[in-house]
Amino acid sequence: MLMRGVERRVRSKKTAALPLARVSAPALLLFMCLLTACGIGNSAAFVIAGSTSVQPYVEILAEEYVIMHPEIVIDVQGGGSSAGITAVESETADIGMSSRNLKEAEQHLWSTEIAKDGLAIVVNPGNPIENLTMEELRGIYAGDIINWGQLNGPDAKIHIIAREEGSGTRSAFEEMVMDERRIVAKAIVQDSNGAVRQLVADDQYSIGFISLGLVEIGERSVKALRIDGIEASSENVINRSYKLFRSFLFVANNQPTGSIMLFIDYIQSPEGQHKLAEEGLIPE
């Protein structure tokens, strides 16, 4: 049995799924109490919360894991990287998911990398642009370049799509691309990779940034641009020629033990890493 605070992303290929239920916070609390009363114990039920980029991959592995260990209850929730780290610090989550590096004030936390992920810069397939330099990409998001015609594209206004403040994906983009410049205030802000992808798929003149593993997922296609002539691919992340990539982290107040650590060991095992690679991530 797997419970989730938000629905899983739509995947392009059909996979067997366990029966799922949406559970409110009070209902979850009651359920946890019932587990304890029945003698299952707190070690058999835990909460993982945070990055919406990391979330869908952890959900997939959690589904596989609870098939093998039906006594385990895993509640996987979104909210963003910063929210996941805050949930760990306030002890409302056992594990935080982060798609950005820990900030200086967060360095006291235990963390481990579960995989790497490329950050794809995506446009609508109807856009003839195939490549941007890093300087051009920065110029778009800083508001210096406002028309595709400035890049030898169509004479049309660029519709900039970005993630929300506190998002690990946005933080990673700002760190790798913006060089301490701010993303322009007129950017259309979305709260998930899936929402960014959908807007780009629907708008010929838009641009966004999403997890590389999500480029091929969805009913309508998007196009990942080359950056400085380098294709956004897992191979180019591994050989470090494609520069836009980040670590996916698990974060906790202290090094986990018991059933939580066993689940982390499963994710970092050859089997878990193979499954993440199948989903488009780069193994740890």
- Kindly report the average pLDDT of the chain as a whole number: 86
In this prediction, residue 43 has a pLDDT band, given cuts at 50, 70 and 90, of very low
In the block, tokens 């660029």 appear at 158
In this prediction, residue 7 has a pLDDT band, given cuts at 50, 70 and 90, of very low
Question: How is 1-66 classified by DSSP, letter by letter?
Answer: -EEESSPPPP-SS------EEE--HHHHHHHHHHHHHTT--GGGEEEEEE-TTTHHHHHHHHHHHH
In this prediction, residue 284 has a pLDDT band, given cuts at 50, 70 and 90, of confident
Phi, psi angles (nearest 5°) of residue 41: 90, 155
Q: Where are the domains of the chain?
A: 2-116+248-283, 118-238
pTM here is 0.74
pLDDT digits (tens, 9 = 90+) for 146-180: 999 999 999 999 999 999 998 989 999 999 999 99
CATH number of 118-238: 3.40.190.10
Measure the CA–CA gap between 211 and 21, rounded to whole angstroms. Answer: 27
Structure tokens at 173: 């983009």
Helix intervals (H) in 203-268: 234-238, 258-268
Above 50 in pLDDT, residue 269?
yes
Measure the CA–CA gap between 256 and 50, rounded to whole angstroms. Answer: 17
β-pair type (282-283, 20-22): unpaired
CATH number of 2-116+248-283: 3.40.190.10
pLDDT digits (tens, 9 = 90+) for 211-262: 998 898 878 999 999 999 999 999 999 999 999 999 999 999 999 999 999 9
pLDDT of residue 166: 85
Structure tokens at 162: 């970005």
Q: How many residues belong to the chain?
A: 284
Asked whether the domain spanning 118-238 has the same topology as the one spanning 2-116+248-283, the reply is: yes
How many C-beta atoms lie closer than 10 Å to residue 40's C-beta?
15
